[in-house]
Each structure stands twice: as structure tokens, then as C-alpha cells.
Amino acid sequence: MTHTPTILLVEPTFYDVSYSINPWMDPAAWARDPRGMHRSAMQSFDALREALGRAGFAVEVAPGAPGLPDMVFPANAAVVLDGRALLARFRYPQRRGEEAPFADIFGTLRERGLLDEVALLPEGCFQEGAGDCIWDAGRGHFWAGFGPRSSHEAAVAVSDYFGKDVVALELATEQSYHLDVCFCPLSGGEVLYYPPAFSEAALRELRARVPARLRIEASADDLRHFSVNAVNLDDQVVMTRTTPHLRTELGRRGYQLHEVDLSPFMLSGGGAYCMTLRLDRRSGPGIAAVAA
């Protein structure tokens, strides 16, 4: 099992925006210039891969599949921790076809020694991978979003499989259809989040667990830029082109930003985190808890 920071991407060969299952998806914009859009998507993908390499990741690239354009968002394919992958069950039929090819991809990763185990969720619940279940290394637990895509009972299934605590947060809007759109724990203990995305109960839970000095509130403009949907490794942050305010705030806290134009993928409701899946993440021991 590798301990090198390793991250999965899926080639956008078959990517397009041809349907809408979240408020950000814009098939009409794609249809105005599909060839130009696809060319831009390939360029953005290459730029993201290079930025991840600069940030310190080894990058694994898997093939997509015809008719499954959203495979470019592998964050939704599985929850991965300690060499174990729990495969997603998608809510919408447009994405359920991804389950079989992703199972093949994860099987290959296991054969290559990049994973130790691959498992299936129990039937009857929806859970859309690391997009709705984010490991917080400093606090030693998962944060799990539920509501638009993942079901509340999926948090129990994740906890049972990994043997880790899961803090469930209800998502209150379709704009923030996955937790990763509106929530990002950082290596220094900060949590970048967009408050209107959460129910009142979820906000109380979040604020009880994260002290004010470590909470970074994102703006509606940050959300539109998919700036919260970021990839963090130590003091490196890979993200879409962000807002001046957030760029300044993250820099003030010691983070180095790698900004990438991901506008072709934002047309489908995804940013840098959506397009990646961390494969090597370990739960400890030796990871200090973040002090309240």
C-alpha cells in the first residue's frame, strides 16, 4: 500500500454536458460550441493534472466510458481511507451507469497494490463517494453530507465499514448538492464552508466542532467560482480561479494556491475536488486532533 500522496483523475474523452441533474448544469451553453467546449475541457484537464503534480501528488489517470460524461468527477465514485474503498451508489439514473466501470477501475487499482480492499455499500441507500463524505485528518472523523444526493442512513454504513466516526450534515439547497461544493477542511485545521448551504441543525453541529478562529466563511461569489471545491495537501491548495478575497484569506493563513481554469467542468457543476479522488489517505495514528 503506497503512502505517496496519490490522486485519481478520469480522462474527459467522453465528457460533455448533455443533461441537467443539478442547478449548475448548462447543456445549452455546451451545445453552442461542443467541439470548442470539448477542446477547452481537454486543456483544462491537462492544466489540472499539472497543478496537482506541482502540489505534490502522484497522479493516476483512468479512462472514461462512452455515454457516461460525469465519470470525470471520480470524487463521487467511492469513499477511500486506509487502503479500503467503499463504492458509491448513485441517486440519479444518469449516473448509475458509472458504477460498473468504476468497479473495474478500483479492481485494477487493487490489483496494482494502490488499494487493499474494494467493497459495496448495502442496497437501499444512496451514497455518492467522497463528494458527500470528506475525511478530516486533524479531527479524525468523516464529515458526511446528506439530502440532495446521499441518504442519511449512508453515514451509518460508512461508519460501520471504516470503523470511524461520521458527523452528518444536512444540505439545505440543490445548489450545494454535494458536501464538497460547500465544505472543505484544510490541513491547518481550518474549515472553508458556505453557511447558507446547510440546515440550521447542521450549522450548529459544525460550529460546535470547529472554533470560530478556524472557520472561513465563503461567499456566494466563492460558491459560484467553485472555490470551496478545492484539493488540499499540506500547505498546497489546488482550485478553480478564485475570488480576490478568498485568495487573500488563504494566503494570509499560509496556503499556496494553484489556480486552474476549470470553466468547462463548472458547466456540469464541478471543480477541482470533484475531478479528483485521493487514494492514499490514512487515518493515523499520529495525527493530532485540532484543538477547540
Which residue of the set 125, 133, 141, 178 is catalytic? 178
pLDDT truncated to tens, each residue of the chain (292 aa)?
447 899 999 999 999 999 999 999 999 999 999 999 999 999 999 999 999 999 999 999 999 999 999 999 999 999 999 999 999 999 999 999 999 999 999 999 999 999 999 999 998 899 999 999 999 999 999 999 999 999 999 999 999 999 999 999 999 999 999 999 999 999 999 999 999 999 999 999 999 999 999 999 999 999 999 999 999 999 999 999 999 999 999 999 999 999 999 999 999 999 999 999 999 999 975 444 454 4
102, 117 in Cβ contact below 8 A? Answer: no
Residue 274 is a catalytic residue: yes
In DSSP notation, 224-270 reads: HTT-SS-EEETTEEEEES--HHHHHHHHHTTPEEEEE--HHHHTTT-
240, 266 in Cβ contact below 8 A? Answer: yes
Which residue of the set 125, 182, 184, 274 is catalytic? 274
For the question of whether the overall pTM of this predicted structure is more than 0.85, the answer is yes
Fold of 6-278: L-arginine/glycine Amidinotransferase; Chain A (3.75.10)
13, 67 in Cβ contact below 8 A? Answer: no
- Residue spans of the domains in the chain: they are 6-278
Q: Return the closest-CA partner of residue 126 out of 164, 165, 163, 86.
A: 86
Q: Return the closest-CA partner of residue 209 out of 181, 171, 169, 179.
A: 169
